[in-house]
A and B are shown apart, each in its own frame.
Chain A
Amino acid sequence: MRAGAAVAVPWAGSLPGTRREAVGIVDAACVRLWLTEVAARLEAERDFLTQLDAAIGDADHGVNMHRGFTAVMARIGAAEEASAGQLLKIAGRTFVSTVGGAAGPLYGTAFLQAGETLGDADRFGPRLLLDALRASLEGVQRIGAASPGDKTMVDALTPALSAYELELRMGGSLETAVSGAREAAAEGMRDTIPLQARKGRASYLGPRSVGHQDPGATSTALMFAALAHAVLADRSQRFAGGARRPVSGP
């Protein structure tokens, strides 16, 4: 990585330590919090994502992601009784139908696959979330045929999943697992900078794609940052006994 080419992003830092006494359970409220957090961050980072995409893509990633998540928020707002899995399926279908470019089908499939995996579970633990994330990665790779190192969203998604899984295997909690995933995704995102793109429009540029951070890996890292934020905020609100409200801002 060369100095000057590196792109610092506000969500790549680390969060304060997790609460050991927290119970690793995810439910519809937590998923709703996550999606709300993603929407808020995409709003804040829309121009940054577009700027990254203008360098090696077609300058529509920020706009597409923002438009998609605005539509997602409208639809999940109307689905008050939806389970976690249903919320993700709504997000996936909304993405496929409202977002153009590669982001629509890729993220749409990722959310749909995750939603399918969760099924009708009201509350679930970190294991099922891992299965859901795995299904997302499989869906993305089936459509995009990208492998790690191709300079795509897979470069953030794959290390995030590995870190999450490793954390669980070492006896970690949901909280430490999502924190690990967040950091690994951010690292994977930064590691796309020196890569030459082998998939997507950026690959048309050949060696000229080197030196730029991949916009897809960046939006994926954003989603993992939002996930960690949502899980931890959900925990602290639960323990504080207060009403759970969406957390906005990066």
Chain B
Amino acid sequence: MIQSVGRAARILKALGSESARLGVTELAERLGLAKATVYGLLRTLEAHQLVEQDLETGKYRLGPALLQLGNAFLDNNELRARSLLWAETLAGRAQEAVHVGVLYGANVLLVHHVFRPDNSLQILQVGASIPWHACALGKATVAYLEPEAQADLLAAPLPRLTGRTLTSREVLEAELEAVVEAGVAVEDQEAIVGEAGIAAALFDNRGAVVGAIGLAGPVERLLPDGPAAETVSAVKEAARGLSRELGAGRPAVPRAGA
């Protein structure tokens, strides 16, 4: 491990963990480093536009180069790139927001988000990280993991996010079996009160699960009386189409208006 690179990474993380800016002294205190060391690191990071200094206060914040790197990360994510068209199609068909997520550790990272097509004010959730057991995307993905990986996740802490979060290992095991049985995962206010999700897993050319695509929205619309059959088949079709494009089974392209 190269110490200075590690320190620079810690500076970036410290600046990224707060919405406000930090001065050299504050950073030095937090990281337990000498002010001169922190200053040198900041100057180097600034030269690469990874941080920038506020001219009025002299404090530092994250720089514009990080946005490009973040976008590059998302663009290099093959799943995201390939999901654009299918996600758009699904959002149009279901008239709800669409999320595409991949599993990172015990969380689902949202790599793509299509707004509900109703012109309402919505906030982009790309980059959000949701505990797998509390969302449809996570349950859809984990249901198809190798038994060992699945057991590890079930053995890890399962935090309660709402009164409806499934936090018992046995209940979740049964839930994952039900997901495989139905080919779709449903979440009823298990991550956020008032919010629901319906998602299906995505597979690559080896048949391994790589993530999930699904709908997210107000529970009264998504699960008026449980999930509507039409909505479920729209999610499954999008997942199947996208999986084929990722190489699972034969190749296919989304049909216009499908």
Contact = CB atoms under 8 A, between A and B. Distances in A.
Contact of B121 (A2, A59, A206): A59
B253 interface: no
A219 B204 CA distance: 46
A143 B193 contact: yes
Number of chain B interface residues as a range: 20 to 34
Nearest to A106: B193
A199 interface: yes
B180 interface: no
B172 interface: no
Contacts of A101: 194-195, 218
A207 B121 contact: no
B12 to A, nearest CB: 12
Contacts of B163: 141-145
Given A100-B218, A210-B17, A211-B19, A144 B123 contact: no
Contact of A199 (B18, B125, B128, B161): B161
A207 B17 contact: yes
A234 interface: no
A144 B121 contact: no
Interface in A83-117: 100-106
A68 interface: no
Nearest to A103: B194
A58 interface: yes
Most buried by A among B110, B192, B195: B192
Contacts of B189: 105
Given A57-B123, A145-B162, A199-B162, A211 B20 contact: yes
Contacts of A199: 161-162
Contacts of B123: 54, 57-59
B29 interface: no
B130 interface: yes
Interface of B: 16-20, 110, 120-123, 125, 128-130, 160-163, 165, 189, 192-195, 218, 220
10 contacts: A54-B123, A100-B194, A101-B218, A102-B192, A200-B192, A201-B128, A205-B128, A208-B19, A210-B18, A211-B20
Given A102-B193, A105-B194, A145-B161, 7 more contacts: A54-B121, A60-B120, A100-B194, A144-B193, A208-B16, A210-B19, A211-B18
